[in-house]
Amino acid sequence: MNRALAILRIAYSILKIIGSLLSAWIVIKWNVRKARKSFEDEMMKAGVSKEDARRLSEFFAVLEGQINSLMKAPISLRERYHEEN
């Protein structure tokens, strides 16, 4: 009984962590999307063409990629460690 309870607690904790990571990923994606759109709108209000504003806002996509790679870094480090051993 104690063993089954321990397994259920572990499973619950893992699911909680996965849920937190997933929600963080969704929030980051949403906020980057909003920031990029707002930046484009402000640039167009300032008189910059739509194409130039989109080109300038691509920085936000690069930033999002860097954030995603930071989130994935522990996984890739673990895989490298297992490949070496």
* Residue extents of the structural domains in the chain: 25-84
User: What's the whole-model pTM score?
Assistant: 0.65
Quote the CA–CA distance of 6 and 15 in Å, as a whole number: 14
Q: Over the stretch 7-56, which tens digit does the pLDDT of each residue have?
A: 999 999 999 998 998 898 899 889 888 988 998 999 899 998 989 888 88
Quote the CA–CA distance of 18 and 21 in Å, as a whole number: 5
CB atoms within 10 A of CB 36: 20
Helices 50-84 and 2-45, axial angle in degrees (round to 10)? 150
Q: What confidence score (pLDDT) does residue 83 get?
A: 60
